[in-house]
Amino acid sequence: MASCSFEDVLAKAERDEAEKLKGITVSKELDLEFDPGNLLAFDKNRIDTREFKDCKREDFLRSLARDNTQLLVNEIWKLPTERVEEVLVAKLPDPTTLLPREKPAPKPKPPTKWEQFAKLKGIQKKKKTNLVWDEVHKEWRRRWGYKRAKDDTKEWLIEVPENADPSEHQFNKRNKAKKERVARNEYNRLKNIARAQKIKVPGMGLAPTPRQSKAELAQAVNVAKISTASVGKFQDNLPKEKTPKNTGKKRKFQPLIGDFSSEKQKQLDLLKVMDSKKPRLDVTKAVNKQMREEDMESRHKNKKDFGKKGRRGKMSGKGKAGGKGPKGKGRKPQMKQGKR
């Protein structure tokens, strides 16, 4: 008797379970593919076209949708849940359907000059507070930016330091320094961008600007000339163009701590010259100067009188004089007199 009732109880329990699940069970030939991350379900089963072709198309679709949605909801209810602010919430896994991106993935930016240096030296970024206590205004102010804590351009009183020029405008000096810092920061930012994009930025003065002086143009020409594979060795000169011999530094300075004996000698010579009462006259320089002045005078005179004839005559005369005259150290290159 007892065993019968025990089995009965089990059977009854099973039937109850089945009853309960009857509401939510759906029988399908093929299982659905689920993507709970996207709340997506895909039903691969064949759709009976005969049923579909009947007039009850909407009902057929609705029942199909109901079955599929029921299966999807069953799947979602299996997910782990938690209570967030008195609301029952199911945690979704990552979506499995691969959807294409909107835009290509961002490329990692190359490090800036400072970042490279910091990495090399092992400098760590220190976490700084957002606000700083400003003792003067007695309040918390931001570390940098508008109304910052220590803004030295906004001071109403600046003490003139002892070694400064008393007529110097201290306020203007601070403002100017700030402008310079801003300009330098901007310049470095642009250089960083150029380095990141691997764009070659021309040096100072070589980028074309609306107004370029003769010196800048000459520099640009020279730089262009040596920008070949053999550094300008086989570049022919234009007619009447001279190859500049000393490009770059015009003055060469001795190193600070170099040859002590030569430095001593130089300084002694200087003292001797200063001591001596004789005037130092560079004869060659004087002669050249005189000749040049005479040439200028004669040219101006001829312009008034004749025209081409006079000038031609004078040219030959000048050439001979130029050839005869001594070539001194301080001789400047003659002005060219091309055909006008």
* Separation between Cα atoms, residue 21 and residue 74, nearest integer Å: 11
Closer to other proteins by CB, 91 or 169: give it.
91
* Separation between Cα atoms, residue 158 and residue 171, nearest integer Å: 8
* Separation between Cα atoms, residue 206 and residue 214, nearest integer Å: 12
| Nearest approach, Cβ of residue 201 and other proteins (Å) | 11
Closer to other proteins by CB, 25 or 267: give it.
25
Q: Does 329 bind other proteins (CB under 8 A)?
A: no
How many Cα neighbours within 13 Å face the side chain of 7?
Answer: 3
Q: Does 23 bind other proteins (CB under 8 A)?
A: yes
Non-local CB neighbours of 7 within 8 Å, separated by 6+ positions: none
Q: Does 182 bind other proteins (CB under 8 A)?
A: no
* Separation between Cα atoms, residue 109 and residue 10, nearest integer Å: 68
The binder of other proteins chosen from 5, 96, 97, 290 (CB under 8 A) = 97
Closer to other proteins by CB, 32 or 288: give it.
32
Chain center to CA of 120: 20
Closer to other proteins by CB, 84 or 157: give it.
84
Per-residue contact flags (x/-) with other proteins for residues 102 to 141, judged by CB under 8 A? xxxxx----------------------xxx------xxx-
Cα–Cα distance list, 330 to 189, 281, 283, 319, 320 (Å): 46, 12, 10, 19, 20
Non-local CB neighbours of 284 within 8 Å, separated by 6+ positions: 326, 327, 328, 329, 330, 331
Total residues in contact with other proteins, by rule CB under 8 A: 63
Phi, psi of 259 (to 5 degrees): -80, 110
Q: Does 191 bind other proteins (CB under 8 A)?
A: no
Q: Does 147 bind other proteins (CB under 8 A)?
A: no
DSSP state of 82: E
| Nearest approach, Cβ of residue 28 and other proteins (Å) | 11
Q: Angle at CA 54, nearest 5°, toward 53 and 60?
A: 90
Q: Does 92 bind other proteins (CB under 8 A)?
A: yes
Could you tell me which stretch among 15-23, 170-178, 282-290, 307-315 binds other proteins (CB under 8 A)? 15-23
Per-residue contact flags (x/-) with other proteins for residues 34 to 53, judged by CB under 8 A? ---xxxxxxxxxxx-x--x-
Tokens of 264: 């001593």
| Nearest approach, Cβ of residue 330 and other proteins (Å) | 48
Contact residues toward other proteins (CB under 8 A) are 19-24, 37-47, 49, 52, 58, 61-62, 64-66, 68-70, 72-74, 76-77, 81-82, 84, 87-92, 95, 97-106, 129-131, 138-140, 189-190, 193, 197
